[in-house]
Amino acid sequence: MQLYHHQKLDIYNSLSGKKEQFKPINEGHVGMYVCGPTVYSNVHLGNVRTFMSFDMIFRYLKHLGYKVRYVRNITDAGHLENDADAGEDKITKKARLEQIEPMEIVQRYTVDFHNILNTFNFLPPSIEPTATGHIIEQIELIKNIIDNGFAYVANGSVYFDVHKYNENNDYGILSKRKLDDLIHNTRELDGQNDKKNPQDFALWKKAEPQHIMRWPSPWSDGFPGWHLECTAMSTKYLGDHFDIHGGGMDLKFPHHECEIAQNQAAKGQSPVNYWMHANMLQLNGQRMSKSTGNIVNPDELLSGNNNFFSKAFAPSVIRFFNAQAHYRSVLDLTDDGLLSSEKGFYRLMDAINLLDDLKASETSSIDIKSWKQSCYDAMNDDFNSPILIANLFEAVKYINQVKEGSQTLNSEDLSLLKETLNVFAFDVLGLKNVTKTDSGTDKLSAAVDILIKLRQDARANKDFALSDKIRDELAEAGIQLKDGKEGTTFSLS
RNA sequence: GGUGUCGUGGCCGAGUGGCUAGGCUCAGCUCUGCAAAAGCUGCUACAGCGGUUCGAAUCCGCUCGACACCUCCA
């Protein structure tokens, strides 16, 4: 009996604007697609936040017992930068500047992306397809859309006919826009001469002579339009209709709106049951942006090598910080915020590490079973990780109280508490148990234990000058002693 | 200009038509030789102005403000 049979999960669906009970198309199986990065530069920290949220969602679905196929693509084909650039795409442009092959750029930043995600303890997706590996599928899709009358060829390029589509379909169903409003509010842009209407978007773009990335097609040597790859790859691996599609809030329009239109036009059905959108990450109250300099890269955040933060932060601290906000809320990255999360994170880890030392009693004075269910209730409510964390801190209180002797747990509840904490802190939230003590070596802790013993002896002899000297000098060296009822422990600061 | 999200205590950040979110900070107490750590206690907020209601921070309207999208962006 899998957990999902008795844990009722609600998901906020951007399509309906409501929380809905999650019911997969095939019982026990979940198909989830998340729009991945464009690998033409180092991965953006905001991008990392989005993937971190979906990593947590992936982890929780798996924990519930679902067999999840999680597809997250790599966009390596290059998107049109803008129409004024006459078809030159971002990847080509960067390659030209650095005098190397486009695929060399792609390779470099794909490796960077994976390194960063590994550092943050991400689970790998089930499939990580690349856009360049699915050119044939994209061409086939375009043929379907043309055959069904929703696209037209113009000067070697193919465009999706939004106005035609909107006659019997709702272009704007996801982003809650009206085509009429779009018509009245679209700016005049150059280089759109081939399009019938400015709202139309490219399915295939003819390559200019200087364009290096190009593939043959029935219409021209060129490259696919930038919404098409996700339709091609999601349906190839998850089917024409699948459970969950995720991405950043800013992809809702036009990207995801176009995916719906493409799928509807090519396959006659809307592709996705549950659309999920993660919110933006800000830096000191402002959007991150290269042009204003208000930006920090993931590796700069981890190394402390930046102008925004007072110190380096461990990957798990950043994960914890992220999980303290709901995935649908804007999160503001600040030094104060990270520092306070860091303290809380280590307090949680210290408590978890105390578990093995706790002594079981005959009876329990705390209702661990209902505490455990409240952890599930939090996650079942649209993956509410902040409430989950509030519950984890309840457990911190329990652990410390049992240690102090003001509460008791029997051995059954003690192992249930331990098991549940491990599940949520490590399996679901993806934290790593990096305690301050763990950062030392066995030899260090043996040495500190000797000093602790010497200090005990000094205290027993009322030689407080010596005992305080040991304590204070260790503190100066970054080793903090903690006196408890059961003896003295230490942590590194 | 259009569309959408939102505005919570010293800070961060959940939630919700009547019942303590949680974290960090701060104060007091317990423990301690003194501290630290840990525990306990306290600090009772929901932008402003109207309205609906027995009752609203939670629903509605307006005002102000923030953010996102509308143009590459997670």
Give the start-to-end residue ranges of the domains of chain A. Answer: 25-278, 282-428, 437-492
pLDDT at A411: 92
pLDDT digits (tens, 9 = 90+) for A253-280: 889 999 999 999 999 999 999 999 998 8
Q: What is the pLDDT of residues A400-410, one digit of tens each?
A: 888 888 888 99
Mean pLDDT value across residues A25-52:
92
pLDDT at res. A35: 92
> Residue A248 is inside which H or E element, if any?
strand A242-248
Judge contact between A474 and A490, C-beta under 8 A. yes
* A175 Cβ nearer than 7 Å to chain B strand: yes
C1' (B18) to CA (A370) span, angstroms: 25
Which of A143-157, A180-194, A235-249 has the least mean pLDDT?
A: A180-194
Strand B proximal residues, A:10-69, Cβ < 7 Å: 17, 35, 37-38, 44, 46-47, 49-50
Angle (deg, nearest 10), helices A385-404 and A368-380 = 160
d(CA A311, CA A295): 16
* pLDDT > 90: percent of chain A: 47
Higher pLDDT, A322 or A101: A322
- Tell me what the mean pLDDT of segment A445-451 comes to: 83
The Cα–Cα gap between A128 and A389 comes to 30
- Say if CB A276 and CB A246 are below 8 A apart: yes
Q: What pLDDT was estimated at residue A447? A: 82
DSSP assignment of A167-225 equals: HHS-TTTTTT--HHHHHHHPPP-SS-TT-SSTT-EEEEEEPPTT----B--SS-SEEE-
pLDDT of residue A427: 96
pLDDT of A134 above 50: yes
Look at A95-104, A424-433, A453-462 and tell me which has the smallest mean pLDDT: A95-104
Name the nucleotide nearest A289; use CA and C1'.
B73
The reply to whether the CB atom of residue A341 sits less than 7 A from any atom in nucleic acid chain B is yes
Task: State the pLDDT at residue A84.
Answer: 37
* Strand B proximal residues, A:434-473, Cβ < 7 Å: 459, 464, 467-468, 471
pLDDT per residue as tens digits for the range A140-174:
999 999 999 999 999 999 999 999 999 889 898 88
Give me the torsion for CA of A262, A266, A268, A274, rounded to 10°. -40
Separation CA A375–CA A219 (nearest Å): 55
pLDDT value at position A87? 47
Whether pLDDT at A5 is above 70: yes
Query: What pLDDT is recorded for position A203?
Result: 93
Contacts of residue A147, defined as CB under 8 A and 6 or more positions apart, other chains included, come to none
The span from the CA of A52 to the CA of A285, in Å, is: 20
How many Å from the CA of A55 to C1' of B56? 37
The answer to whether residue A85 scores a pLDDT higher than 50 is no
Range 298-317, chain A: CB under 7 Å to any strand B atom:
none
Report how far residue A132's alpha carbon sits from residue A452's, in angstroms, rounded to the nearest whole number: 61
Output the pLDDT for position A193.
67
Please check whether strand B approaches the CB of A249 to within 7 Å. Answer: yes
Which bases in strand B are touched by protein, i.e. have an atom under 7 Å from a CB?
Answer: 1-5, 11-15, 21-25, 31-40, 66-74
What pLDDT sits at residue A435? 60
The confidence score (pLDDT) of residue A356 equals: 85
Q: Determine contact, residues A260/A310, Cβ cutoff 8 Å.
A: no
ipTM value? 0.89
CB A266 within 8 A of CB A147: no
Q: Is A184 buried (19+), middle (13-18) or exposed (0-12) by CB count in 10 A?
A: exposed
Closest CA to A436 of A356, A355, A348, A320: A348
Describe the crossing of helices A90-98 and A102-119 by its angle, rounded to 10 degrees.
100
Average pLDDT over residues A448-453: 85
CA dist., res. A281 & res. A322, Å (int): 9
How confident is the model at residue A283, as a pLDDT? 87
CATH number for region A282-428: 1.10.730
The architecture of the domain spanning A25-278 is: 3-Layer(aba) Sandwich (3.40)
pLDDT at A195 over 70: yes
Q: Is the pLDDT of residue A191 over 80?
A: no
pLDDT digits (tens, 9 = 90+) for A322-371: 999 999 888 888 888 898 999 899 889 989 988 888 889 888 888 999 99
Statement: residue A460 has pLDDT above 60: yes
Confidence of residue A86 (pLDDT cuts 50, 70, 90): very low
How far is residue A134's CA from residue A102's CA, in Å, rounded to a whole number? 17
Distance A378 CA to B59 C1' (A): 25
Average the pLDDT over each of A175-189, A198-212, A419-433, A473-487 and give the range with the smallest value. Answer: A175-189
Work out the pLDDT band at A88, boundaries 50, 70, 90.
Answer: low
pLDDT at residue A82 in the model: 37
- The pLDDT of residue A78 is 65
